[in-house]
Structure 1
Amino acid sequence: MILLQTLKNSQITDHEILQLMIPQEKVAHVQSNHPLDHALLVLIKSGYTAIPVLDPEYKVQGQVGKAQILDSILGMERIEMDRLHDYSVSDVMTEKVPRMKQDETFGKALMLSINHPFVCIEDEDRSFIGIMTRRSILALIHRHLEKI
């Protein structure tokens, strides 16, 4: 409770989210029609546990993560890696993904990041413009607490 009051008093909740956003051209992502082996490769190379799923017009369709992909290829006695190419991202992705408009406040991003590794940022046309990671949110909170 004291932490929340401290953050509120420091005006951190009014912080511009665009300053913390990773722009879309730097964000690892896949499309829903991509095969799962491609999605797993992107996840492993990027080091992320989950990434956005976008359509060809850069609209957010959902998100896909390593756990979802591995779940889809678990057999009774082994991981069936050869089945990766049989599935597409749309078969395992979740459509529930936190989203915000670019002009919304940091306070909303903080709330959305509690249960998600990132928040998708969209423009007024709902086009994907980037993400705000839980890491960037926590880093800002840490900087503000150090000042106090």
Structure 2
Amino acid sequence: MTIDALKHRQLMTEEISDLIISHEKVAHVQLQNPLDHALLILIKSGYTAIPVLDKDYRVQGQISKNEILDSILGLERLEMERLHDITVESVMNKRIPRLKTDATFAKALTTSINHPFICIENEEAAFVGILTRSSILALIHHYLQQSK
């Protein structure tokens, strides 16, 4: 086996722990927050989607600007006055990618193909942070530059 093949195998089996953005640094909302609060967090953070957590800080889904806007889309206009009356829980996406902290880089790479971020949980299913597709791509780029 060549040195490059060994490096490739090592990268793919490496754990993702060094790439995780800690939960303290991740914008999020909770299930019972009104949509106006979620939209404010999304706008201020600059993200298009953020995790939704329950009161025990376990991941329940994610909310995006598109889901919020779809929920207030009336027949002739956006019904902005409804933002405060609708909860995050009622419109969030519950089918989101999740990985455990000990997942391999290969699993994270495959999971990230269709998602801008992956929620990371510990063995007790508590929210640890997120893994972004951009951090995965940055590591691949760094690896490829070193292989030249």
What TM-score, normalized to structure 2? 0.91
1:64-85 residue CA offsets vs partner (Å, 9 max, x unmatched): 1111001111122221111111
**Superposition CA RMSD, Å:** 1.8
Relative to 1, partners in 2 of residues 1:147 and 1:98: Cα closer, same or farther, differing over 3 Å? same
Give the corresponding residue for 1:62: 61
SS of aligned partner of 1:86: coil
What runs of 5+ residues in structure 1 fail to find an aligned partner? Answer: none
Q: Which residue identity does 1:120 align to in structure 2?
A: C
Question: Residues 1-148 of structure 1: matches in 2 within 5 Å?
Answer: 9=8, 11-148=10-147
What runs of 5+ residues in structure 2 fail to find an aligned partner? Answer: none
For 2:75 and 2:6, locate their aligned partners in 1 and report how far apart those are by CA, in whole Å: 49
SS of aligned partner of 2:96: coil
1:3-37 residue CA offsets vs partner (Å, 9 max, x unmatched): xx979835321233111100001100001110000
For 1:10 and 1:147, locate their aligned partners in 2 and report how far apart those are by CA, in whole Å: 15
In the comparison of the two structures, how many residue pairs are matched?
A: 144
Contact 1:113 1:119 in 2 (8 A): yes
For 1:95 and 1:28, locate their aligned partners in 2 and report how far apart those are by CA, in whole Å: 17
- Identity of paired residues, percent? 62
Structure (1 or 2) with the larger CA radius of gyration: 2
For 1:83 and 1:118, locate their aligned partners in 2 and report how far apart those are by CA, in whole Å: 28
Q: Which residue identity does 1:139 align to in structure 2?
A: A
SS of aligned partner of 1:139: helix
What TM-score, normalized to structure 1? 0.91
